[in-house]
Structure 1
Amino acid sequence: MREMTKKVVYTEQDYVRDTHTHIENVQRYMQVFAAQLHARSMVHDKSKLEEPEKSILHQNTVEYKSYKIGSPEYKAHLKKVKVALDHHYAMNSHHPEHYKNGVAGMDLLDIVEMFCDWMVACREHGDGDIVLSILENRKRFGYSDEVTQILVNTAARFAKVE
């Protein structure tokens, strides 16, 4: 004898209820994410106001801003301020150098903060080209084609906003 399976009735009301629950749960996670981003924004780069970063970076910022990202001068400058940068990277998880495995060690909050940091940094260097910055940093940090494209897509979205 075959066992008869009972047909489950899933009403439109059930569907609407479940969909509302899904939406509310997604909203909750997005709000937590936004709150964590906000908290990070309030402490972003505060280590630059502490030693050893403060005095070294203060003495070298004007020179640093004169170099194009990725240029030989830019790379040499990074070596010149290595003591400050080593401290900075240790204190700030939005830098790939914070992690032993670079970008692969980061989470999405780190990536978003890194992207926003790059948006501002590329403007401070005078060229204002975030896509160039993304491509130069890909060479530097070795992130994937997919990560590169996500960052470029995000830059395009921000270009529409500004």
Structure 2
Amino acid sequence: MAGYDSTADTLKHSLRVGALLAPVVADLARRAVEHDLSKLADPELSAYNETVPLLRTTTYGTAEYERHRTAMGDALTHHYAHNRHHPEHHQGGISGMTLVDLIEMLADWRAATERHPDGSLAASLPIQQQRYGISDQLMQILTSTARHLGWLDPS
């Protein structure tokens, strides 16, 4: 159409996308403040006090690590039930999660690797893929996101 200037329509569209993204940003900001606060009271607190020192001395994905993790029993079940960034929170596992859940989960995985002397997000991602039955496509998205955010270990 001759004489049409798309500037106004583009600005309107841009503002609308911004308005739609605002609740996502607010949800992420809330999660950043509230992440894992259920660990600060029982039944979780005492189990984490006992188990975290043991987990820190083992390599993620090993049988020893898994034994320590599962020994948390009801405290871990409580944690998963109250924290939607865990696939165990959702009836459908990882496929029941939202994109916001996945972002918080990925940040949680990155932070967890930092507690271990041999921790590595790049090394743990294949373990997580196997554990949660993550599709190759979603794993590529998670890996690309981690790389984009600078969360992957230096090569």
Fold match (TM-score > 0.5) = yes
Correspondence for 1:43 among 14, 34, 43:
34
Deviation at 1:130, TM superposition (A): 0.7
1:137 and 1:10, CA in 2 relative to 1: closer, same or farther beyond 3 A?
farther
Name the structure 2 match of 1:12: 4
Of 44-53 and 72-81, more deviation after overlay is shown by 72-81
- TM-score, normalised via structure 1 length: 0.88
Name the structure with the higher helix share.
Answer: 1
| C-alpha distance in structure 1 between counterparts of 2:40 and 2:87, whole Å | 21
Supply the distance in 2 between the matched residues of 1:160 and 1:93 (Cα, whole angstroms): 21
Aligned letter for 1:144?
Answer: S
CA separation of 1:76 and 1:23: change in aligned 2, threshold 3 A? same
Cα distance change, pair 124–10 in 1 and its aligned pair in 2 (3 A): farther
1:25-63 CA deviation, whole Å, 9 max, x = no partner?
111122221111001111110000011000111011110
TM-score, scaled relative to structure 2: 0.91
Task: Give the percent of matched residue pairs that are identical in Structure 1 and Structure 2.
Answer: 35
Structure 1 residue 146 corresponds to structure 2 residue 137: yes
Structure 2 counterpart of 1:85: 76
Cα distance in 1 between the residues matched to 2:84 and 2:117: 26
Equivalent of residue 155 in structure 1, options 146, 152, 155: 146
Residue-pair matches, total: 153
1:27 and 2:27 equivalent?
Answer: no
| SS at 1:124 equivalent | coil
User: Which residue in 2 is equivalent to 1:6?
Assistant: none
Deviation at 1:115, TM superposition (A): 0.6
CA RMSD of aligned residues (A): 1.8
Distance (Å, rounded) in 2 between the aligned partners of 1:65 and 1:146: 31
Bigger CA drift: 57-66 or 121-130?
Answer: 121-130
Which of the numbers 101, 108, 127 marks the counterpart of 2:99? 108
* Alignment equivalent of 2:87, drawn from 89, 96, 109: 96
Distance 1:120 1:57 in 2: 16
Structure 1 residue ranges without an equivalent (≥5): 1-8
Alpha carbons of structure 1 residues 24 and 11: separation in structure 2 relative to 1, 3 Å: farther
Residue aligning to 1:119? 110
Q: CA deviation at 1:11?
A: 4.2
